[in-house]
C-alpha cells in the first residue's frame, strides 16, 4: 500500500480508509497497553506523542487549518507546564481563551481566520502557509542582512531606514519582472534544501543510523525502572519526567479561576528529569543545578556568613563528590592498564625464553575467551561451542578454563556492568545445542541468564572433550589466579587473560619458590607485536614482597571495577608513593590489618590525603581548603570543584569500598557490602557517595526573596530561614525592609 501511495496509484483518502490502517493502529495500541508499567517505554511513548503534536502543528500552519492550530496549541500546554516554560503556558492559555471568545466578540475575525488567513502565503500551493514570525525572518530580516541590506555598510540612521523601506515595493516589482523574464520564480523553482537529493540521502542514512542504535538499545523492554538508553544510568525515585502530561494537567487545573499575573508556578510540581546535572535537596525540595555553578554560588554566599571560610570545605559544596563521580552519577573510570604499565617500567619483568611444551599447564580466563570467537548468525549453539573447543585444543595441549558466575542477586560489579552495557538488557532466549543463533552476540550476552546458560552449555561440551573447567560463584579473577598459582607448584604454568586485576592477584599471591609462572594475553594480533609477557616470579622479586603485599590496596584505592578513580591521582603516582613513603606503608599496614570500620576510615583518609600531597595526619577537609586557597592565588582560570580532594565523609565510603575489594582479592570475601560503602537500590548494589548535605543549612537556605511588601511576614524566604535580606533580593535589595539591619535615611 505504501508503494502504491508513493507512486500515486491510490489517493491519501483511500489509503486512510483501508482496513490495514485500522489493524496497524490496533496493534500499536495493544503494544502500548502491554508496556504501561514499563517507565522507559512510557517515556518514549510520551516523546512520540509530543512529536505527533508538533507534526500536527506544522500541518496546521502549512495548510492554514485554524481548528487544528488551536487544538495542537491546547495539546502542548500540559508539556509546557510540566517542563517549566511558565511564560509560554500563561501566554498560550490567554491566547486560547481569547480565540475561543472570538465567536461572540469578533465573529468576522473568526471567519477570516477559519478561512486560512492566520498564516501568510507566498504562493497558492496547498502546503505553502507560513506563520507570521517565520515570514518576518525569511523576508524582512533576510533582506536586512543580505547583500543590499542595511547591515551591509548602508547604515541604520532614520533617513536610511526610511529610504530602504520605501524603496522595497519598487525593488519587489523589479525582482518579479526579472523572475518572469528568466522563467524562474519562487513558485516553480526548488527553494527548499531539504528537498534536494543529497539532503534526502543524508536523512535516509541518519534514519538507518538511528534505527541501528535503537536495535541494540531498545527502550521498549520489560523493565520497570526509568533509564537513559545511551548511558544506562537509572533514574532515582524522584525523577518523574515519564509522567509529564499528568503533571502538566494538574498544574493547568491549579490555574483555573486565578488571575494570570498573580499565579506563581511551583518548581516541585513540575517534572523532574534525569539530567547530567545533579540535584541537591533544600527543605525537601529537589533542585537541579550544575555542580561547578553550585560550588561558585556557595562560595559567594558564604562571604559575610562565615568568618573562617574553611568551615564550609567540610562539605562537598556540590551535589555529589565530583572528584570521584562523573556528572552522570557513575564512578569515575580508572585506566587499570596504567598500573601494569607502571610496574612494567620498574625494570625487567619480561619472560624472554618461553619454554612451553606439552607438559605446560594453561589456565584460561573464560570471560576473555568468550569474546575471542566470532558468532556467525545461523550456526547452532552447539556449533558455536565447537568453535571454542577447536580453538582451545589447537593452541593449548593442557588447559583449564575458569568461568565467571552470574548470579541474579546484587553484586559490587553492578555499576561496572551498567557502564559497560550502557543499561542494555538483552531478551532472554531459551536454547539448546541445536537451536540456531539468530541475534547479535553482544545483545545475547547482555542478558545474564543467557550468558550463564551458554557458559553452562560450553563448559559441558568442553568436559566431554577432556578440557577441565571451573566455575566461580561471581567474579572469577581470584579463582583464576589461585588456580594458576596452585598449578605452578608442580609444573610450569601460563595464565592467559587480559585483565590487570589478574596481574595484581598473581603478584600478591604467587610463591617465588614455585615453578615458572607466566602471564600473557590470549589475543594474538599480527598488528600489535608488543604484547607484554610477564614473568611473575621475576616481577615479584623486582617489586619486593612488601610492595606486592600492598598491590591489592594500591589497585583498589586508585580505582578499579568496584571503586572510583580519584581525579588527579594516577595509578603510576600511587605505586611510586607506596614504594617510597614510609608513612604510606605504615597506614597501608594499618588498613590491611583493620577489622573495624572506624580503623579503615582513619587509615584510608591518611592514605588519600598523602596521595593528594597532604602532610601526615592532615585531614582531608583541611587539605581541601588549603588546595583551594593555593590555586586561587596561582591559577589563571577558575578553580574547578572536581580538582579538589574529596571530603572526609565522601572519602570514608571510598576507603570502605577499597577495603572490601582488597579483602575479596585476598580471598576473604565473607564481608557484607552494605556494611562497607554500598547500598541496595532497584535490586542492584550502588556506591554510597556521601551522607552529608551538599553544604551547611545556612547556605542551602539562602534563597533571595521577591517580596512586594515589607518582608515582615513568614512569606519572606529570607525571614523564614532566619536570615537577613541581602543585596540579591529582588525588591528590597537588603536595605529598605524590616528584615534588614541596613537602613537608608531619606531627607525630607
Q: Could you tell me which residues are beta bridge partners of residue 685?
A: 680
Q: Are 316 and 650 in contact, with CB atoms under 8 Å apart?
A: yes
Q: Are residues 284 and 382 in the same domain?
A: no
Contacts 24+ apart (CB under 8 A), 75-78: 77/248, 77/252, 78/244, 78/245, 78/246, 78/247, 78/248, 78/249, 78/251, 78/252
Q: What is the pLDDT of residue 180?
A: 82
* Buried b or exposed e, range 418-457, using 16+ CB within 10 angstroms: bbebbbbbbeebebeeeeebeeebebbbbbbebbbbbbeb
Contact 92, 80 (CB under 8 A): yes
Mean pLDDT for the stretch of residues 117-140: 84
Q: CB under 8 Å to 431, separation ≥6 — which residues?
A: 381, 437, 453
Greatest alpha-carbon pair distance for the chain in Å reads 108
Window from 54-68, 148-162, 721-735 with minimum mean pLDDT: 721-735
**Cα first-last separation, the chain:** 86
Mean pLDDT of 354-375: 86
Per-residue pLDDT band for 382 (boundaries 50, 70, 90) equals very high
Helix, strand, or coil here: 599? helix
Cα 306 from Cα 314, distance rounded (Å):
13
- Report the b/e string of 468-502 with b at 16+ CB within 10 A: ebebbebbbbbbbbbbbbebbeeebbbbbbbbbbb
pLDDT digits (tens, 9 = 90+) for 186-204: 555 555 666 678 888 899 9
Give the integer Cα–Cα distance in Å for 252 and 86.
Answer: 11
More confident residue, 705 or 81: 81
Q: Assess whether pLDDT exceeds 70 at residue 657.
A: yes
Helix pair 545-557, 648-665: axis angle to 10 deg: 130
Count CA within 13 A, CB hemisphere, residue 210. 6
Residue 414 inside a domain? The answer is: yes
Give CA separation, 236 vs 170, 229, 233, 317, 519, in Å. 63, 15, 9, 21, 42
Instruction: Find the mean pLDDT for residues 85-99.
Output: 94
Instruction: For residue 711, give the 3-state DSSP assignment.
Output: coil
Same domain (yes/no): 694, 724: no
Residue 169 counted as domain residue: no
Q: Do residues 675 and 726 both lie within one domain?
A: no
Between 13-27, 104-118, 223-237, 453-467, the lowest mean confidence (pLDDT) is in 223-237
Give the pLDDT band (50/70/90) at residue 524. Answer: low
Q: Residue 477: pLDDT above 50?
A: yes
pLDDT band per the 50, 70, 90 thresholds, residue 544: very high
Residues 650 and 689 sit within 8 Å (Cβ to Cβ): yes
Q: Is pLDDT of 333 > 80?
A: yes
pLDDT for the residue 276: 39
- Read off the pLDDT of each residue in 196-214 and give the average, rounded to a whole number: 86
Give the three cell numbers for residue 581.
613513603
For residue 6, tell me if it sits in a domain: no
Give the DSSP per-residue string, 231-255.
T-PBPPTT--GGGHHHHHHHHHHHH
- Secondary structure of 529-571 in the HEC alphabet? CCCCEEEHHHHHHHHCHHHHHHHHHHHHHCCCCCCCCCCCCCH
Residues 689-698: what's their mean pLDDT? 82
Predicted local distance difference test score (pLDDT) of residue 291: 65
pLDDT digit string, tens, across residues 312-332: 888 888 878 999 998 878 899
Convert the pLDDT of each residue in 298-308 to its tens digit. Answer: 676 666 666 67
Query: Quick check: 296 pLDDT over 80?
Result: no
**Between these two residues, 301 and 693, which has the higher pLDDT value?**
693
Q: Is pLDDT above 70 for 615?
A: yes
Domain that holds residue 648: 276-335+544-701
List the beta bridge partners of residue 518.
494, 535
Beta bridge partners of 496: 364, 520
For residue 500, the model assigns a pLDDT of 94
Region 597-601 average pLDDT:
94
pLDDT per position as a tens digit, 430-473: 899 999 998 888 888 888 889 999 999 999 999 999 999 999 98
pLDDT score at 273:
83
Same domain, 635 and 508: no
Note whether 590 and 639 are same-domain residues.
yes
Minimum mean pLDDT range among 356-365, 483-492, 512-521, 720-729: 720-729
- Whether the Cβ atoms of residue 519 and residue 537 lie closer than 8 Å to each other: no
Q: Is the pLDDT of residue 740 over 80?
A: no
Contacts of 362 (CB under 8 A, 6+ apart): 396, 397, 398, 399, 400, 493, 494, 495, 496
**Domain check: are 317 and 293 in the same one?**
yes
Query: If we measure between CA atoms, which residue out of 482, 247, 493 comes closest to residue 354?
Result: 493
Question: Domain tally for the chain?
Answer: 3
Mean pLDDT of 92-118: 93
Checking phi first, is residue 631 left (phi over 0); if not, alpha (psi -120 to 50) or beta?
alpha
pLDDT for the residue numbered 528 = 52
Task: Examine the pLDDT at 621 and tell me if it is beyond 80.
Answer: yes
- Per DSSP, the three-state class of 112 is helix
pLDDT tops 70 at residue 154:
no
pLDDT at 277: 41
The answer to whether residue 683 scores a pLDDT higher than 50 is: yes
Q: What pLDDT sits at residue 303?
A: 66
CATH number for the domain that contains residue 480: 3.40.50
Statement: residue 527 has pLDDT above 70: no
The residue out of 501, 531, 561 marking a domain boundary is 531
Asked whether residue 441 is domain-assigned, the answer is yes
Q: Which of the listed residues 668, 685, 701 is the one where a domain comes to its end?
A: 701
Query: Which of 531, 552, 578 finishes a domain?
Result: 531
Q: For residue 732, what pLDDT is reported? A: 82
Q: Is 390's pLDDT higher than 90?
A: yes
pLDDT digits (tens, 9 = 90+) for 40-74: 999 999 999 999 999 999 999 999 999 999 999 99
Asked whether 79 and 27 are in contact (CB, 8 A), the reply is no
Q: Is the pLDDT of residue 743 over 50?
A: no
- Return the top range by mean pLDDT from 136-150, 196-210, 641-655: 641-655
Q: Is residue 645 part of a domain?
A: yes
Q: How far apart are CA 660 and CA 591, in angstroms?
A: 11
Buried b (16+ CB within 10 A) or exposed e, 82-96: bbebbeebbebbeee
- Is the model more confident about 34 or about 225? 34
Higher per-residue pLDDT: 520 or 731: 520
Phi-psi region of 634 (alpha: psi -120 to 50; beta: other; left: phi over 0): alpha
What integer pLDDT is reported at residue 346 of this predicted model? 93
Percent of the chain with pLDDT over 70: 87
Task: Give the lowest-confidence range in 172-186, 412-426, 550-564, 601-615.
Answer: 412-426
Q: How many residues does the chain have?
A: 748
Averaged pLDDT, 334-355: 88
Cell of 374: 566470532
Residues 556 and 691 in one domain: yes
Calculate ∠ Cα 420-424-427, nearest 5°: 135
pLDDT above 60 (res 562) = yes
Q: Cell for 450?
A: 543467557
659 located within any domain:
yes
Cell matching residue 493: 604454568
Residue 651 and residue 604 in contact, taking contact as beta carbons nearer than 8 Å = yes
Q: Which pLDDT score is estimated for 143?
A: 77
Domain-located, residue 329: yes
Cβ pair 491, 532 in contact under 8 A: no
Quick one: pLDDT at residue 285? 46
Q: Are 281 and 385 in a shared domain?
A: no
Alpha-carbon dihedral angle through residues 20, 22, 27, 29, given to the nearest 10 degrees: 160
Both 651 and 609 in one domain: the answer is yes
Check whether 125 has a pLDDT greater than 50: yes
Q: How far is CA 665 from the centre of its chain?
A: 30
Nearest to 557 by CA among 593, 608, 514, 508: 608
Residue 492 scores a pLDDT above 80: yes
pLDDT at 284 over 70: no
Q: Which residue has the cell 506563520?
A: 131
Whether 372 is covered by a domain: the verdict is: yes
727 and 605 assigned to the same domain: no
CB neighbours of residue 179 within 10 Å? 15
Inter-residue contact 623 to 612 (CB < 8 Å): yes
Q: Does residue 325 share a domain with residue 282?
A: yes
Closest of 386, 384, 393, 563 to residue 466, by C-alpha: 393
Spatial contact of 329 and 688, defined as CB atoms under 8 Å apart: no
Looking at the structure, do residues 328 and 408 belong to the same domain, yes or no?
no
Sequence-distant (6+) residues with CB within 8 A of 536 are 506, 507, 510, 517, 518, 519
Burial, 669: exposed, middle or buried (Cβ in 10 Å; 0-12, 13-18, 19+)? middle
pLDDT at 720 over 70: no
Cα gap 608→600, rounded to integer Å: 12
Amino acid at each position: 500500500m505504501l508503494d502504491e501511495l508513493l507512486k500515486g496509484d491510490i489517493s491519501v483518502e483511500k489509503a486512510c480508509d483501508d482496513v490495514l490502517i485500522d489493524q496497524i493502529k490496533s496493534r500499536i495500541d495493544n503494544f502500548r497497553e502491554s508496556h504501561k508499567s514499563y517507565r522507559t517505554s512510557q517515556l518514549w511513548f510520551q516523546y512520540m506523542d509530543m512529536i505527533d503534536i508538533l507534526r500536527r502543528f506544522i500541518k496546521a500552519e502549512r495548510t492554514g487549518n485554524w481548528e487544528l492550530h488551536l487544538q495542537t496549541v491546547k495539546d502542548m500546554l500540559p508539556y509546557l507546564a510540566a517542563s517549566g516554560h511558565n511564560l509560554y503556558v500563561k501566554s498560550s492559555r490567554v491566547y486560547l481563551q481569547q480565540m475561543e471568545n472570538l465567536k461572540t466578540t469578533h465573529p468576522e475575525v473568526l471567519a477570516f481566520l477559519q478561512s486560512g488567513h492566520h498564516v501568510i502565503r507566498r504562493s497558492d500551493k496547498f502546503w505553502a502557509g507560513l506563520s507570521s514570525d517565520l515570514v518576518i525572518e525569511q523576508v524582512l530580516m533576510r533582506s536586512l542582512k543580505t547583500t543590499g541590506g542595511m547591515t551591509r555598510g548602508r547604515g541604520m540612521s532614520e533617513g536610511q531606514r526610511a529610504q530602504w523601506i520605501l524603496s522595497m515595493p519598487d525593488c519587489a516589482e523589479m525582482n518579479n519582472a526579472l523572475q518572469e523574464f528568466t522563467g524562474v520564480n519562487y513558485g516553480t523553482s526548488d527553494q527548499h534544501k531539504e528537498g534536494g537529493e543529497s539532503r534526502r540521502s543524508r536523512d535516509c542514512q541518519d534514519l538507518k543510523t538511528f534505527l541501528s542504535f535503537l536495535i541494540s538499545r531498545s527502550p521498549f523492554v520489560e523493565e520497570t525502572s526509568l533509564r537513559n538508553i545511551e548511558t544506562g544510568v537509572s533514574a532515582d525515585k524522584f525523577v518523574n519526567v515519564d509522567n509529564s502530561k499528568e503533571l502538566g494537567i494538574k498544574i493547568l487545573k491549579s490555574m483555573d479561576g486565578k488571575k494570570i499575573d498573580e499565579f506563581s508556578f511551583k518548581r516541585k510540581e513540575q517534572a523532574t528529569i534525569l539530567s547530567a546535572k545533579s540535584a541537591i535537596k533544600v527543605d525537601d525540595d529537589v533542585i537541579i543545578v550544575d555542580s561547578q555553578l553550585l560550588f561558585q554560588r556557595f562560595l559567594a554566599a558564604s562571604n559575610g556568613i562565615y568568618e573562617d571560610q574553611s568551615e564550609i570545605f567540610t562539605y562537598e559544596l556540590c551535589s555529589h563528590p565530583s572528584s570521584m563521580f562523573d556528572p552522570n552519577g557513575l564512578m569515575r573510570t580508572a585506566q587499570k592498564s596504567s598500573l601494569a604499565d607502571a610496574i612494567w617500567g620498574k625494570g625487567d619483568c619480561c619472560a624472554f625464553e618461553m619454554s612451553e611444551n606439552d607438559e605446560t599447564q594453561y589456565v584460561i580466563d573464560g570471560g576473555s575467551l568468550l569474546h575471542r570467537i566470532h558468532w556467525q548468525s545461523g550456526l547452532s549453539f552447539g556449533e558455536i561451542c565447537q568453535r571454542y573447543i577447536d580453538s582451545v585444543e589447537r593452541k593449548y595441549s593442557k588447559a583449564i578454563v575458569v568461568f565467571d558466575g552470574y548470579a541474579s542477586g546484587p553484586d559490587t560489579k553492578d555499576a561496572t556492568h551498567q557502564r559497560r552495557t550502557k543499561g542494555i538488557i538483552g531478551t532472554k532466549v531459551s536454547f539448546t545445542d541445536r537451536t540456531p543463533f539468530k541475534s547479535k552476540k553482544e545483545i545475547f550476552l547482555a542478558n545474564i541468564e543467557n550468558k550463564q546458560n551458554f557458559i553452562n552449555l560450553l563448559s559441558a561440551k568442553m568436559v566431554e572433550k577432556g578440557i577441565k573447567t571451573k566455575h566461580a560463584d561471581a567474579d572469577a579473577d581470584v579463582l583464576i589466579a589461585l588456580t594458576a598459582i596452585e598449578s605452578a607448584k608442580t609444573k610450569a604454568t601460563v595464565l592467559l587473560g587480559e585483565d590487570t586485576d589478574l596481574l595484581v592477584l598473581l603478584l600478591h599471591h604467587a610463591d617465588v619458590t614455585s615453578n615458572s609462572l607466566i602471564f600473557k594475553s590470549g589475543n594474538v594480533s599480527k598488528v600489535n607485536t608488543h604484547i607484554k609477557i610477564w614473568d611473575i616470579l621475576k616481577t615479584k622479586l623486582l617489586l619486593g614482597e612488601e610492595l606486592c603485599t600492598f598491590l591489592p590496596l594500591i589497585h583498589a584505592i586508585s580505582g578499579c571495577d568496584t571503586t572510583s578513580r580519584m581525579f588527579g591521582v594516577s595509578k603510576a603516582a600511587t605505586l611510586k608513593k607506596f614504594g617510597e613513603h614510609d608513612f604510606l606503608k605504615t597506614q597501608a599496614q594499618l588498613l590491611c590489618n583493620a577489622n573495624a570500620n572506624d580503623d579503615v576510615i582513619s587509615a584510608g583518609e591518611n592514605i588519600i590525603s598523602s596521595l593528594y600531597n597532604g602532610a601526615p595526619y592532615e585531614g582531608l577537609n583541611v587539605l581541601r581548603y588549603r588546595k583551594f586557597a593555593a590555586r586561587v592565588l596561582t591559577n589563571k582560570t577558575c578553580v574547578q570543584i572536581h580538582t579538589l580532594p574529596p571530603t572526609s565523609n565522601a572519602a570514608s565510603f571510598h576507603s570502605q569500598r577499597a577495603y572490601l575489594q582488597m579483602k575479596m582479592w585476598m580471598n576473604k570475601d565473607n564481608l557484607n557490602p552494605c556494611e562497607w560503602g554500598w547500598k541496595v537500590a532497584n535490586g542492584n548494589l550502588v556506591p554510597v557517595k556521601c551522607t552529608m548535605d551538599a553544604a551547611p543549612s545556612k547556605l542551602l537556605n539562602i534563597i533571595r526573596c521577591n517580596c512586594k511588601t515589607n518582608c515582615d511576614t513568614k512569606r519572606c524566604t529570607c525571614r523564614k530561614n532566619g536570615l537577613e535580606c541581602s543585596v540579591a533580593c529582588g525588591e528590597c535589595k537588603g536595605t529598605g525592609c524590616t528584615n534588614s539591619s541596613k537602613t537608608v535615611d531619606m531627607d525630607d
